[in-house]
Structure 1
Amino acid sequence: MKAAIVTIGDEILIGQIVDTNSSYIAKALDKIGIATHEMLSISDDKKHILNTLNLLQNKVDVVIVTGGLGPTKDDITKKTFCDYFEDNLIENEEVLFHVKSIIEGIYKRPITQINRDQALVPTKAKVLFNKVGTAPGMWMEKENTVFISLPGVPYEMKYLVDNEVIPNLVQKFERPYIVHQTIMTYGRGESMIAEQIEEWEDNLPQFIKLAYLPSPGKVRLRLTARGTNEELLRNEINNQVQKLDLLIHDIIVGYNEDEPIEVVLGRLLTDKNLTIATAESCTGGKIAATLSAVPGASNYFKGSVVSYATQAKTNVLGVANELIIELGVVSAEVAMEMAKSVQKIMASDFAIATTGNAGPTKGDDIAELGTVFIAIATKSEVYVEEFNFGQPREKVIDRAVSKALELIYKEILKK
């Protein structure tokens, strides 16, 4: 089965907002075996909407449209649906009662005609009742395609997808099973991994596909199996993961894409009853922000010193000014002193320190652009590694954060 997702709104096309609705809908469809064939963002233009609906009809099984539903005059989706399905609008009593209860009961003001118009739906539409907003969803069918229209407000869209759209699609269609398994890897590039697992990949069953999803410092490997026998798919996926683990076990950090390395790291620290702190210069607190974003991080994350300026390194962390003058602020020795100091200040088991030249200009330091020193302090030792992450600045910072988390993860595994 195939679906298309259409978002309506000039605010998306001019970059004023980011389309997160399509991602949410695609994930929900995937879980029930419906593959998203394409995603489109189009303008608030009646002709454009009609052309898009006509283009997708019979090309896919399901079209889900978000946006263009609401109390303002520029929300034109309902009227456009009426034109496309040769229909007209009628007032839905259940929706009107709901709208009145919100406007008069919650907002304590009289209902206006614009509010009443929210209860207008095409006569041929199946109403998808929106308990968390005033604009209902609509389900309409034409020839071989189901057309579903949803509000663009994210929390309203999510409610309708979860409580109306998915249950109705499950009831209407017989669908194949789609089983995914994501393997999270750190510390090795996409091309190196591909070379290492080439023979394994070449021997995958035809119903299993492998995708490489690289990002700074890490690569997600996603296995996708499609078929009619769910048990067979899951068993074969598990079998292939076990074979893969024998090849690259040293870089695998998890098997759930909803669990990035900071989550895995946090669980590891918690299980071992260990703590961590950070001292950051070029990464500007991003490692600390990544660690502390995980719920329950207070159990293991002691704190951070963002010693961006040289003065902070000397006054707060106690790095000797003579050391900085002699070797430069971007140096292995300074990184090691930062790590040891913050470990002592925070009384932590481990510490991470970063100092580097992220760019875009070289400044007064002698270190080349992209140079980053990452130091790791344990109870028994401190060591440092030097990297050059190139440019631009954002790449340097992101890769430094990823590499720091990778290094500390491997260190904690030793304990």
Structure 2
Amino acid sequence: MNRIRASIITIGDELLIGQTIDTNSAWMGTRLNDAGIWVQRRVAVGDDRQAILSALEEESAKSKVVLITGGLGPTADDITKPTLLEYFGGKMVRDEATYTRVMGFFESRGLPVLERNVAQAMVPDSCAVLQNLRGTAPGMWFEKNDVIFVSLPGVPFEMKGLMENEVIPRLRERFHTPALLHQTLITSGMGESFVAERIRDFEAAMPAHIKLAYLPSYGLLKLRLTTEAPDKITAAAEMKDAHQALKSLVADILVAEQDLPMGVILGNILLEKGLTAGTAESCTGGRIASQITTVPGSSRYFKGSVVSYANETKTSVLRVSPETIRQHGAVSEQTVREMAEGALAVLNVDCVMAVSGIMGPDGGTDEKPVGTVWIAVGGKENIRTMRYHFRYDRARNTEMTAIAAMNELRKWLVG
């Protein structure tokens, strides 16, 4: 099969110093993969002419498609466009469609048009202009030595519009690519090495063109199958057989058959059962509720949260007994159970999650070290409690607590 390989170059000093997180590459990789194009390299470079030129030369030696994002703004530090002119040759010309759109953008808002804004319409005559309907900086399509180069704005909203409306359709038209298909199963409760041992024979018997990846993530283990076939029908048939076989081997630890966030997985179960839920959160500070409510329509099954970070909130809002906290501490089975009972009453829901823990870096004791978490889940007739010990930094301990609480409620709901 003719595998088309791509490289992604992201440009900007802010990416290298950690001021901005590169989310563009991940999104672009997904869309390219959907089009049957393999992303084999992702490279970040600063706003440096020689670094950009070197990256273009190096990646074009490895890939048939090179996508570039960033450095197309109107300020002096945006040097991508003149650097591309140097690399591909030609001269700067005004693209009339872009000029008209830039002028209209500022005039419709009653804003003055600066010379640097007008310069957004200037492009190398060695490129084909891709119209950016979401901003002022156009995309640019170059070809050199049988390699396609596409320069896109770094603003995610603008980049995504150009990818969906211009780049992906053109690449599909240019290349006949194989069908790539992924299927992910999510498991919990068994370590990566033990799962690998369990499915060893399955993995050994897989055809060479079907790959299995192990992806640990916040207490969960994702098993991703990838197949490559000449067409989607063949790929889907092969994937169905492999997926069913793998599913049968991990049925007892299976969380979901799709690569979905835990908030979505839990929400789907609540919606299916017609139940409502809420949270009583101490150490997670609302993180559980945040993950659930990122889902559109989650108000159908999620009523709210009490973020009882301080002990006085636990006692005044959730009606946790002060004596319970004095005797057992805020991070205890007894306290988290009473938090759950209080949340059921205050929020008037069918089921709840309650969490209290020591996230770090300090606050731990010999009896309750950093990473100790108590979780309670359940409804009015049945509340389960469980203790976890996490060993990471504050941010990761918090994330793992949120995932663990949602997974525990999922298990409670499915029996």
Is the pair's TM-score, using the shorter chain for normalization, greater than 0.5?
yes
Structure 1 residues 211, 114: closer, same or farther in 2, change over 3 A? same
Structure 1 residues 399, 96: closer, same or farther in 2, change over 3 A? closer
CA contact (8 A) 1:343 1:377 kept: no
C-alpha distance in 2 between matches for 1:273 and 1:364: 42
AA of the residue aligned to 1:24: W
Structure 1 residues 246, 114: closer, same or farther in 2, change over 3 A? same
Give the superposition deviation at 1:142.
0.9
Describe the SS at the equivalent of 2:103.
helix
- In the alignment, which residue of structure 2 is the partner of 1:280? 281
Give the superposition deviation at 1:166.
0.8
Structure 1 residues 58, 378: closer, same or farther in 2, change over 3 A? same
Indicate which of 25, 35, 40 corresponds to 2:38: 35
Q: How does 1:150-189 map to 2 (within 5 A)?
A: 150-189=152-191
Describe the SS at the equivalent of 1:354.
strand
Q: Which moved more, 1:231-240 or 1:63-72?
A: 63-72
1:50 aligns with 2:47: no
C-alpha distance in 1 between matches for 2:354 and 2:298: 19
- In the alignment, which residue of structure 2 is the partner of 1:62? 65
CA contact (8 A) 1:190 1:212 kept: yes
C-alpha distance in 1 between matches for 2:177 and 2:105: 38
Describe the SS at the equivalent of 2:135.
coil
C-alpha distance in 1 between matches for 2:124 and 2:200: 54
- In the alignment, which residue of structure 2 is the partner of 1:396? 397
- In the alignment, which residue of structure 1 is the partner of 2:204? 202
C-alpha distance in 2 between matches for 1:94 and 1:290: 42
CA contact (8 A) 1:187 1:403 kept: no
- In the alignment, which residue of structure 2 is the partner of 1:126? 128
Structure 1 residues 318, 208: closer, same or farther in 2, change over 3 A? same
Identity over aligned pairs, percent: 43
CA contact (8 A) 2:72 2:79 kept: yes
Describe the SS at the equivalent of 1:78.
helix
C-alpha distance in 2 between matches for 1:367 and 1:13: 39
Taking structure 2 as the reference length, the TM-score comes to 0.93
C-alpha distance in 2 between matches for 1:403 and 1:342: 18
Describe the SS at the equivalent of 1:52.
helix
AA of the residue aligned to 2:273: K
Structure 1 residues 92, 362: closer, same or farther in 2, change over 3 A? closer
CA contact (8 A) 1:188 1:217 kept: no
Structure 1 residues 369, 47: closer, same or farther in 2, change over 3 A? closer
AA of the residue aligned to 1:136: P
- In the alignment, which residue of structure 2 is the partner of 1:376? 377
Describe the SS at the equivalent of 2:252.
coil
Give the superposition deviation at 1:364.
7.4
C-alpha distance in 1 between matches for 2:341 and 2:185: 34
- In the alignment, which residue of structure 2 is the partner of 1:362? 363
Give the superposition deviation at 1:111.
4.0
Give the superposition deviation at 1:34.
0.7
Number of matched pairs: 412
C-alpha distance in 1 between matches for 2:203 and 2:25: 30
Gaps of 5+ in 1: none
Q: Which moved more, 1:187-196 or 1:230-239?
A: 187-196
- In the alignment, which residue of structure 1 is the partner of 2:28? 25
Indicate which of 86, 89, 92 corresponds to 1:86: 89
1:387 aligns with 2:373: no
1:135 aligns with 2:148: no
Give the superposition deviation at 1:110.
5.4
Structure 1 residues 223, 164: closer, same or farther in 2, change over 3 A? same
Indicate which of 4, 8, 15 corresponds to 1:5: 8
C-alpha distance in 2 between matches for 1:155 and 1:183: 30
Give the superposition deviation at 1:101.
2.2
CA contact (8 A) 2:378 2:412 kept: no
Gaps of 5+ in 2: none
Describe the SS at the equivalent of 1:250.
helix
AA of the residue aligned to 2:311: T
1:299 aligns with 2:286: no
C-alpha distance in 1 between matches for 2:50 and 2:128: 24
C-alpha distance in 2 between matches for 1:397 and 1:8: 32
- In the alignment, which residue of structure 2 is the partner of 1:97? 100
Structure 1 residues 288, 151: closer, same or farther in 2, change over 3 A? closer
Q: Deviations over 1:326-358 (max 9, x none)?
A: 233322222222212221222222122222222
Q: Deviations over 1:208-261 (max 9, x none)?
A: 11111111121221111112132121111111111111111233232332x222
C-alpha distance in 2 between matches for 1:298 and 1:118: 43
C-alpha distance in 2 between matches for 1:346 and 1:15: 40
Structure 1 residues 190, 86: closer, same or farther in 2, change over 3 A? same
1:233 aligns with 2:247: no
Structure 1 residues 356, 57: closer, same or farther in 2, change over 3 A? closer
Q: Deviations over 1:370-407 (max 9, x none)?
A: 22121223232222112212242333322222221111
Taking structure 1 as the reference length, the TM-score comes to 0.93
Structure 1 residues 308, 230: closer, same or farther in 2, change over 3 A? same
Give the superposition deviation at 1:198.
1.7
AA of the residue aligned to 2:88: F
Structure 1 residues 326, 151: closer, same or farther in 2, change over 3 A? closer
Give the superposition deviation at 1:60.
0.8
C-alpha distance in 2 between matches for 1:91 and 1:305: 57
CA contact (8 A) 2:89 2:126 kept: no
C-alpha distance in 2 between matches for 1:407 and 1:127: 52
Describe the SS at the equivalent of 2:296.
coil
C-alpha distance in 2 between matches for 1:164 and 1:9: 23
Q: How does 1:250-329 map to 2 (within 5 A)?
A: 250-257=252-259, 259-329=260-330
Structure 1 residues 83, 250: closer, same or farther in 2, change over 3 A? same
